[in-house]
Amino acid sequence: MPLLESVLSIKVVTELTTLATNTAFDVQSDAFETLREIMLLDNDHAKREAFMQTNFATILELITKISADPNYFARRKALALLNDCLRKYPACKKEYINDKDNLKKMMNHLLDINKEI
């Protein structure tokens, strides 16, 4: 089984999002970098796009959960990952902007005391 197919699963993404909220900074950082590579690298774009479209609701739920984490780094990286995914996958972007709850969540992020969020 090729490496991409073994890591391109919702089970792996779920585990990585759990690690992204770990208290150890190096674990968080590695988890976010791996998530970024799984979701955004350009090689074999068709498989990644199909994976994202199929699992977008679950991935969005996981990223939203991280963006509500009290840890500043986790929140910032989760929102950056969401932004990059929405820019790369137009079908996911359309699904995201059609949900009014997502607008509410983003507006609440604007109330954050950290201006970088």
pLDDT one-digit tens code per residue, 58-111: 999 999 999 989 999 999 999 999 999 999 999 999 999 999 898 888 887 777
Give the pLDDT band of residue 18 (cuts 50, 70, 90).
very high
| Interatomic CA distance for residues 95 and 97, integer angstroms | 6
Model-level pTM?
A: 0.84
- The yes-or-no verdict on residue 11 having pLDDT over 70 is yes
Q: Please give the pLDDT value at position 8.
A: 83
Which position has the token pair 């995201």? 96
Which pLDDT value is given to residue 64? 92
